[in-house]
Amino acid sequence: MSKIIEGLLYSESHEWVKLDGNVAIVGVTDFAQAEMGDITYVDFPAEEDEFKAGDEFGALESVKASSELYTPVSGRVIAINKDLEDAPEKINEDAFAAWIVKIEMSDKSELTNLLSAAAYSQIIN
Amino acid sequence: MKYYDRLSIELSRPGRKGFGLREAPAGALDCIPAYLRRESAPKLPELSEPDVVRHYTMLSQMNFGVDTGFYPLGSCTMKYNPKINEEAATALEGVHPLQKAHKGAAAVAEGLDKALAEITGMSHFTFQPCAGAHGELTGLMIIKEWHLRRGDTARTKVIVPDSAHGTNPASAAVCGFHVVEVKSTPEGLVDTEVLKSIVGPDVAAIMLTNPNTLGLFEKDIKEIASIVHDCGGLLYYDGANMNPLLGAVRPGDMGFDVMHLNLHKTFSTPHGGGGPGSGPVGVRKGLEEIADSVKVSGFHGNFGVMLRAYAYILSLGRENVPMAGRLATLAANYIKECLKDCYKLPIDTVCKHEFVFDGLLEPNGVSTLDVAKRLLDYGFHAPTIYFPLLFHQAIMIEPTETESLETLDAFIEVMRRIAEEAKEDPELLHTAPHNTPIGRPDETTAARNPILHW
Amino acid sequence: MPGFRYFPCTDGDISRMLDRIGAASLDALYSDVPSEYMRSGGYDLPSAMDEQQVREFFRDLASMDPKLKVLVGQGAYDHYTPSVIPYITSRSEFLTAYTPYQCEISQGTLRYIFEWQSLICELTGMDVSNASMYDGPTAAAEAMRMCVACTRKRNTVVAYSGLLPHVLEVLRTYAKYSGVNLVETWDIAETVAEGTLDLAGVIVPDINRYGVIESHKGLAELVHEMGGLLVEYCDPSALAVLKTPAEWGADIAVGDGQSLGIPLGYGGPYVGFMACKQEYMRKLPGRIVGQTTDAEGRRCFVLTLQAREQHIRRDKATSNICSNESLMALWCTVYLTLMGPDGLRRVNELSCAGAHRLHDALIATGLFEEAVEGPFLKEFVLRPLCEVEKLQKCLADAGYFAALETEEGYVTFCVTEKYDDAELDRVVAVIKEGLL
C-alpha cells in the first residue's frame, strides 16, 4: 500500500505539490517510486527554465526504465534538489521528503486542476 | 566457463612488448612542433604476444555464442554462422574504399543487390547502413526526401505500432518526425480502425514489422497498405523479422515501399557481440535514385558483412532459400505447442519465427527474469525478456532453422523442468544462475556510481 | 526434400514436428498469410553452389582486379595488422555472440568493451567512452546531434571545411534530415566569434583533409564563451603522439578506429569511437559498459546507463543506435594491447619518416610543388605539375594505388609503417620513369 500524505496536491502523472506561498515544491509520489524500483538518476531541468503545466521538465531513471516528469503547474524553476544528484536513492527512501524542483508559479488558478489526496488515492487503487 | 578476473592493464609490465616493427630513425617526429604534441604517452598496457593471446582467450571462455549452444533470443535470429562465409569475407581485404572501378567490389554489390531484390520483391538496395537501426534511419530519410521532392512538406508524422522494436520510434525521432503510436488489438495485430482514424495528410509513413514482435503475421496487411497509401503515406518494412518470410513471402509484394534487412539476422552473418552488422535498405521502383543519394556512412557500408551474406545466398541457392523461413517457422511453432501447458500463451494461434509467453502459468512468485537466469545454468542462452512491452512477463523465443530436433527437445525439457522447479523451490530460481562465471550483478550501483574505465 | 548442410532437421523430424503442432504441411503454418502473397513460383536466384564452388567464386572475385599497394589515406589507412588479431576475433565465443544482454555468460565481451572504453579514454584524454559506433563519420554525426541535445534549444553546429570529405558528407545528411543547422566554414574562429549563431557546437579535425596537423589554440575557450561544445574528430593512431582532444579543451572526441590495424576491406567494417567529458555522460549515445560486483562480491561488468537508450526511451532516446561495432572494437583493443605505448609511437615515427621521405623526393622530381603549408604526419597533398591521369596510371601499372586526386586538383599520398625506404624509393623511380 503506497503512502499518501493529506494536504498535498497530486497530478495524475504521480507528482505531488506542496505549496509555499507562490512557490510549488514538486516531487514524485511514493506510488511512483515503488513502480520505478531503484532510482539511479534524476534528470533535472536548469534553474530559470520556464514551463507550462503538463510540460515534461525532467526524468527519473532506474536500471531498466525511464519515466518522464511533468510539471503540475506553470512557472519558472527557482531551485532543484541538488542532494539528489549524488543520492537519487533518497526518492526511494522517502518520496515525500525528497522534493525535486521548486517552481515559482505564474498562474495559481491551475492548482484547482490538481487532485486531492483522496482523489489521487482512488487513481492508484 | 570459469571466472577470470584480469584486465589487460593489470597484466602490464614496463618494458614488455608485443609488436614486431623495425626500428624507426632517430628524431622521426622532430618535424612536428612541440605545441602540437601530447604531453605524455598514453597509458596503454605493455604485454608480450603470448600474454595477449592468453588474456583474450581466457576472456573468450567467459562468453556464450551460437557455436557454444542454443541461443533462442527473440527478434535477434541467432542462426548458425557458416564458416565458408568467413573465408569469403576476406576477399577484398587489401582494397582501399576510394579505389575506383574495382571490378570485384562492383560484382559483389551488383550480385547481392539483385539477389536481395529478388528475395524481397524490392527494386534496389543501398548498402550504406551498418546495422538495422541505421537502415531504419536511412529508410526514413529516403521517405522524407521523396515527400520533399514532391513538394509535400506537411508530412511530419510517422506511425509506429506499440509492439514495434524500440529502434522504430527512436529512428523516426532522429529523422525529425513526430511518432504516433497505434495500439494493437487483443489479437496482437494493428487495429485498422484506429489506423484509419489517425492517417491523414500529415502522415509520412507507417513502420511495420511483419510478422510483428509477437511473431504474428499482420493478416490485414493489404488493408493496412491501402489505408496508408490512400492518405499519401509510404509503408516501411522493418526487416528484423524477415527470417520466416525468407523464401516464402516478399515485402515488396505486400505493398511495402521501403525496407531494411538485417544481414546479421536473416542472412547468417555473425553478430560479433553486438556488431558489425549490415542494414541494407531496399526501395520499390521509382525510389532508387533517392536511395543512392542518401549518404549515411563513410564509404560503402560494411562490405565485409556483405561478402558473408553473399556467400550464404550462393550456398543456399534457389533450391534451399524456400526452406529457410519455413523451417524457422516450424521450430517456433513446435516449441510453442510443447510448452504452452506450462507457460502462459496470451495469443494462442499459429506463429511465425518467434512467439511470446507471458511468464509461467503457475509462477509461484517466479518471474521471467528468474526463468531466464535459470536457463543459463542449463547451458542455454536466455530468450529475449520483458519485450515486447505488451505483456508484463514477456518471454520471446526464436529458435531459427539451424537447430536440430534434439536441441529443441532438450530446450523444451529444460523449460518444463524450470516450471516444476518454480513450484517446488522458487528460491533456487530467484538466486539463479548458479553455474556461471558470475552471479547476478548489482546493476543499481553500476548505474548510480558509474565506473566506466580503469 | 534433399538435405542441406545448415538445416539439421530431416524429413522424419519435420513430420514429427508437424504432427505435434497438428499442421498438415509446412505451408499450413502460413495459413494466416493471404494466399496471394505466398511465393509459389520459386525465386530467380543462382543455383546452390557447393562449398568448393563458393570458395572458388570468392577467389576469382579477389583476382578480378590487380592487387595494389595502397599509398592513399583520406580516412582509410593501410597500417599493418598483427597476426594475433584475426585469431582472437575469430574465436567463435566472441564472433557468434550477440549484444551482452545476459551478463553472466557475456563477461568476455563486457570486459573487452570495458578495456576498449579505457583505451579510448587514454588516447583522447576524455572521461567517458561508449562501447563504439558504426564508423568515424557516423560518430561525428552523433556528436553533432549530441551538441544540440546538450545545449538545449540551440541548433547550429559549425563544421570545419577541412574535415575529411566523407565525414562532411555524412554530417550533411544527418543535419538535413534531423533538422540541425550545419554551417561549414574554413574560418571557424571568425564564424563563431560573430556571435550571430545559436551555437550548439563546433567540429574540427586533429589532422585535416590535406594531412596537415591543426592547432586549436584558444578555440575551446571561444566556443565555450559562445555557449557551444567543441568536438574533435581524430585519428586514434596519431593520438599516441599528437595533442589530445582533452588537451585542446574539447568536450567530445570522435573518430574512426580503422587506423588501429583494421584492414582496408573496401571501407568496412570499421569502428567509430566516441568519448566525452564527464558532465555530458548522460547524453552520450550508444551502449556503455560499467564495472560492478555480483552477490558474492566478484568484480564483473554490465551494460549500464541504459535509460538513455532506444529500447527504454523509444522516441526520446539519445540516439536510435542499438548495436555497436563490438567485434571491431575488440580488433582495436587487441591491437592497442599488443602495440602498447612504444609500438603505437613507433607506428607514427615510421609513418612520419616515410611520408617526409616520399614528400621530399617527389618535390625533388620537379613534377610537384607544395600545395598547403603546415606540419604533417603520414598524409600530405601536392600540386601536380604533370598530367594526373598519366601519373595515376603509371603508378597503378607498377602496382600502387597513390596520387588520388582531391576536389581542388591536388594529389594526395599517405605512407604507413608498411612501406620501407626501398619501397618508397621505388615509387619515386616509377614516377620518374613514367613521366620524365
Domain hosting A61: range is 22-105
Pairwise CA distance, residues B105 & C262, whole Å = 18
Chain A residues inside the 8 Å CB shell of C306: 63-64
Q: pLDDT tier at B261 (50, 70, 90 boundaries)? A: very high
The reply to whether CATH 3.40.640.10 applies to domain C85-334 is yes
- The pLDDT of B189-206, averaged and rounded, is 95
CB contact under 8 A, C312 and A40: no
Q: Sign of torsion, CA A90 A95 A96 A98?
A: positive
- Whether residues A65 and C152 touch (CB distance < 8 A) is answered with no
Question: Is C312 in contact with A66 (Cβ distance < 8 A)?
Answer: yes
Provide CATH 3.40.640.10 ranges for chain C.
Answer: 85-334
Quote the pLDDT of residue C40: 84
CB pair distance less than 8 Å for B20 and C103: no
- Cβ contact, residue pair A68, C316, below 8 Å: yes
> Considering chain B, what is the average pLDDT of its residues?
96
Listed in sequence order, the residues at least 6 apart from C279 whose beta carbon sits closer than 8 Å to its beta carbon are: none
pLDDT of residue C2: 58
The CATH number for A73's domain is: 2.40.50.100
Encode pLDDT of A34-87 as tens digits: 988 899 999 999 999 999 999 999 999 988 888 899 999 999 999 999 999 999
Q: Distance, in angstroms, between A10 CA and closest chain C CA?
A: 25
Question: In chain C, where does the domain assigned CATH 3.90.1150.10 lie?
Answer: 69-80+340-435
Distance from CA of B44 to the nearest CA of C (A): 5
Distance of residue A37 Cα from the nearest chain B Cα, in angstroms: 10
- CATH code of B83-316, in short, is 3.40.640.10
Min Cα separation A63/chain B (Å): 6
User: How high is the pLDDT of residue C320?
Assistant: 87
Q: What is the mean pLDDT of residues A21-46?
A: 93
Count B/C contacts: CB-CB distance under 8 Å. 647
Tell me the pTM.
0.96
Could you tell me the residue ranges of all domains in chain B?
Answer: 3-62, 83-316, 323-447
> Is residue C110 within a helix (H) or strand (E), and if so which, with residue range?
helix C107-124
Q: How many CA atoms does the CB half-sphere of C51 hold within 13 Å?
A: 9
**Euclidean distance between the first and the last CA atom of chain B, given in angstroms as a whole number:** 24
Q: Give the mean pLDDT of B239-251.
A: 96
Evaluate whether B411 touches B102 at the Cβ level (below 8 Å): no
CATH classification of B323-447, choosing from 3.40.50.300, 3.40.50.1820, 3.90.1150.10, 2.40.420.20?
Answer: 3.90.1150.10
Give C136→chain A minimum CA distance, Å: 29
HSE (side-chain half, CA atoms, 13 Å) at B454: 21
Chain C interface, best mutation among A38, A63, A86, by max C CB count within 10 A? A63
Please list every residue in chain B whose beta carbon sits closer than 8 Å to the beta carbon of residue C256: 298
pLDDT in tens, B317-351: 999 999 999 999 999 999 999 999 999 999 999 99
Fold of the C69-80+340-435 domain: Aspartate Aminotransferase, domain 1 (3.90.1150)
Contacts of B321 in chain C (CB under 8 A): 43, 45
Identity at C249, one-letter amino acid code: G
Q: Cα C295 from chain centroid?
A: 38
Interchain CB contact of A41 with B (< 8 Å): yes
Q: Report chain A's terminal Cα–Cα distance, integer Å.
A: 9
Q: Is B242 in contact with B261 (CB distance < 8 Å)? A: yes
Specify the long-range contacts of residues A20-24, CB closer than 8 Å, at least 24 apart: A20/A102, A22/A104, A22/A105, A22/A108, A23/A78, A23/A102, A23/A103, A23/A104, A23/A105, A24/A72, A24/A73, A24/A75, A24/A102, A24/A103, A24/A105
Residue A100: inside a domain: yes
CB-based contact C264 B450, cutoff 8 Å: no
Instruction: Tell me the count of A-B CB pairs closer than 8 A.
Output: 17
Is the pLDDT score of B376 beyond 90?
yes
Chain C CA closest to residue A43: C282
**Best CA proximity match to A62, nearest among A82, A35, A44:** A35
Question: Which residues does chain C have within 8 Å of residue B45's beta carbon, measured at their own beta carbons?
Answer: 336-337, 340
Amino acid, single-letter form, for residue C104: E
Domains B83-316 and B323-447 agree in fold: no
* Closest CA in chain B for residue C312: B166
Give the count of domains, chain A: 1
Residue B56 has pLDDT above 80, yes or no: yes
C96, B66: Cβ pair inside 8 Å?
yes
∠ Cα C105 C108 C111 (to 5°): 120
> Which residue, among C319, A17, B244, A15, has the nearest Cα to A7 in the 3D structure?
A17
Q: Do C306 and A63 count as a contact with CB atoms less than 8 A apart?
A: yes
Burial class (CB in 10 A: 0-12, 13-18, 19+), C218: exposed
SS3 of chain B: helix, strand, coil, percent, to 5: 40, 10, 50
Mean pLDDT for chain A overall = 92
Asked if residues C78 and C264 have their Cβ atoms less than 8 Å apart, the reply is yes
* Integer CA distances (angstroms), C208 to B36, B102, B301, C404, in order: 14, 27, 23, 16
Determine contact, residues B241/B212, Cβ cutoff 8 Å: yes
Of A40, A43, A65, the CB nearest to C312: A65
pLDDT along chain C (436 residues), means of 10: 87 97 97 94 95 97 96 98 97 96 97 98 98 97 96 93 98 96 96 91 98 97 97 98 98 98 97 97 94 96 87 79 92 98 98 98 97 97 97 97 96 98 97 93
List, edge to edge, every strand of the sheet that includes B384-385: B355-358, B394-397, B384-385
Give residue B58's pLDDT.
98
Q: How far is C394 from chain B (nearest CA, A)?
A: 15
| Binding partners of A (≥3 Cβ pairs within 8 A) | B, C
Rounded Cα distance between C180 and C155, Å, is 6
CB atoms A68 and C307 under 8 Å: no
Which residue in C88, C344, C240 sits closest to B18, CA to CA? C344
Nearest CA in chain C to A49: C152
Which chains have 3+ CB pairs within 8 A of B?
A: A, C
Residue whose cell numbers read 495528410:
B201
**Distance from the A10 Cα atom to the nearest Cα atom in chain B, whole angstroms:** 27
Q: Which residue has the cell 557447393?
A: C50
Do B214 and B185 form a contact (C-beta atoms < 8 A)? no
Specify the pLDDT at position C317.
79
> What's the grid cell of residue B57?
582467450
Subunits next to C (3 or more Cβ pairs <8 Å) are A, B
Task: Tell me the chain B residues in contact with residue C65 when contact means C-beta distances shorter than 8 Å.
Answer: 95, 99, 102-104
Q: What is the pLDDT of residue C315?
A: 78
Whether A59 and A115 have beta carbons less than 8 Å apart is answered as no
Report the residue of C102, C313, C315 to disrupt the A interface, i.e. the one with the largest count of A CBs within 10 Å.
Answer: C313
In C228-325, which residue ranges form alpha helices assigned H by DSSP? Answer: 245-248, 310-313
Phi-psi region of C128 (alpha: psi -120 to 50; beta: other; left: phi over 0): beta
pLDDT at A124: 86
Within 8 A by CB and 6+ apart from B420, the residues are none
Is residue B59 helix, strand or coil?
helix
